[in-house]
Amino acid sequence: MSIKYTPATLKKFEELYDEIGYIIRFEKGNFHSGYCLLQDKRIAVINKFLPLEGRINALIDILPNIEVDQDKLNKETLHFYLTAIAQPADR
């Protein structure tokens, strides 16, 4: 199953990050990758000027870089998480 680039998918990512314990903020910034990850504070800052597809791709790119306790995720969120990390790197 591939990830669809819709506002509903962005909302699912926001819920996933909330369950993981990360705060997502959409802010203005000069991030070369489109995002900045503050691991000590558990905050992911995404460039607010990115289109929807760019925001979702940034959230997918961040997932392998953070530690996720899969036992704490509910069944639906775990399935979505496993689908997201299985996405190819060159979308």
Mean pLDDT for the stretch of residues 6-18: 95
The predicted structure's pLDDT at residue 59:
93
pLDDT at 46: 94
Q: What is the mean pLDDT of residues 54-75?
A: 91
- Please calculate the CA angle 45-35-90 and round it to the nearest 5 degrees: 140
- Residue 27, SS3 per DSSP: strand
* pTM for the whole structure: 0.87
Domains of the chain, residue spans:
10-85
